[in-house]
Amino acid sequence: MKLSSDDLMVVLALCQEGTLERAGQFLSRDASSVFRAIKRIEAKIGGPLFERSKAGFQPFPAAEELAEKGRDISAALSKANAICSEIGGIQSGKLRVTTTDVLLEHVILPNMGALRQMMPQLSVQFSTSNQVVQLWERGFDLAIRPSSNPPDQLLGQCLKRFGYVAVCARDYEQSAQAQRGDFSKLNWLVPGGALKQHPIRKGLAEQMKSAASILSFDSMNQMLHGVHLGLGVAVIPDLAPLTRGLVRLDMPSAQDSTELWSLYHPSNRGNLLLQGFTKFVKTALADT
């Protein structure tokens, strides 16, 4: 029996993802469907393609060779889709975008009018998450998020480099000034929950040892809202839409600068919708 292009894509998915669950997400199938497909393919060729273990599936050399052919097919399909979009002259379709809550509310949504003018037939599905999203699991087409070390298996571009700044509301400024030089006694608003390992929190470890009080949030946007309510001091990205209306405090930076990246799976190379949305976000960030 001959192998089909679908067979090659299944082998590619399992080689690339390592587990049935992630391969299924890559292919928009369930894990049991991928398992049955691999068994069928192995029956076709008369031998095993993967070594099974508790850690997942390790490809044998034959599987890696077949996966390379699958990559060629994936790249060809991406180019074909790009050509079809160019022929139509209209950038229409659906794009699944994941980003952080604070970037969506303060950078992306306020500029959506410009995006609609630029790409009127684009449908965007937003998902906000402050946790690291694995795009190789194919739940999303594009991620717009801070990263000091983007994953090697993803493609993308750096949209902006930014630093961090300590801020408070004007209602809290007097309290902050009264503790000048001893920031450990301030009321601090910090990342918590799913964001507990955020570099901001690590950088504030010394100040928080004797803080007057600490409020933690698993949402950067809610933390920023707490600052505007005068609940205390927080370290936030130094982007104009976020710092507007707040008082900057003269204190050592608690966190080095980082980068904001547009990241996508290699199979989306040449996707005009993705390129257009990335250009839109970069333009929105130009004045921040």
Query: Any idea where the domains of the chain sit in the sequence?
Result: 5-86, 90-162+259-285, 164-256
Q: Which of 137, 181, 159 is nearest to 31 (CA)?
A: 137
Task: Give DSSP secondary structure letters for 149-193.
Answer: S--TT-EEEEEEEE-EEEEE-HHHHHHHHHTTT-GGGSEEEEE-G
Segment 43-55 shows an average pLDDT of 89
Residue 136 pLDDT level (bands cut at 50, 70, 90): very low
Q: Quick one: what percent of the chain has pLDDT higher than 70?
A: 86
Residue 253 confidence (pLDDT): 54
Residue 60 pLDDT level (bands cut at 50, 70, 90): very high
Please tell me which residue, 18 or 250, carries the higher pLDDT value.
Answer: 18
Segment 164-184 shows an average pLDDT of 79
* Superfamily (CATH) of domain 90-162+259-285: Periplasmic binding protein-like II (3.40.190.10)
Find how far residue 103's CA is from the centre of its chain.
Answer: 11
Please tell me which residue, 102 or 195, carries the higher pLDDT value.
Answer: 102
Q: Are strands 164-168 and 93-99 parallel, antiparallel or unpaired?
A: unpaired
Residue 260 confidence (pLDDT): 92
- Same topology between domain 5-86 and domain 90-162+259-285: no
Q: Which whole-number Å values give the CA distances from 2 to 8, 43, 60, 138, 144, in the listed order?
A: 11, 11, 20, 28, 41
Please tell me which residue, 241 or 139, carries the higher pLDDT value.
Answer: 241
Please tell me which residue, 1 or 146, carries the higher pLDDT value.
Answer: 146
3 state SS of 261? strand
Segment 79-87 shows an average pLDDT of 55
CA 12-18-22 angle, to 5 degrees, is 85
Residue 137 confidence (pLDDT): 47
Segment 191-217 shows an average pLDDT of 79
Segment 202-213 shows an average pLDDT of 74
Domain covering 5-86 in this structure, CATH number: 1.10.10.10
Segment 154-159 shows an average pLDDT of 88
Q: Quick one: what percent of the chain has pLDDT higher than 90?
A: 31
Q: Are 183 and 207 in contact (CB under 8 A)?
A: yes
Q: Are 71 and 100 in contact (CB under 8 A)?
A: no
Residue 26 pLDDT level (bands cut at 50, 70, 90): confident
Residue 87 confidence (pLDDT): 42
Our CA dihedral for 9, 268, 126, 225, rounded to 10 degrees, sits at 120
Please tell me which residue, 7 or 201, carries the higher pLDDT value.
Answer: 7
Find how far residue 203's CA is from the centre of its chain.
Answer: 22
Domain covering 164-256 in this structure, CATH number: 3.40.190.10
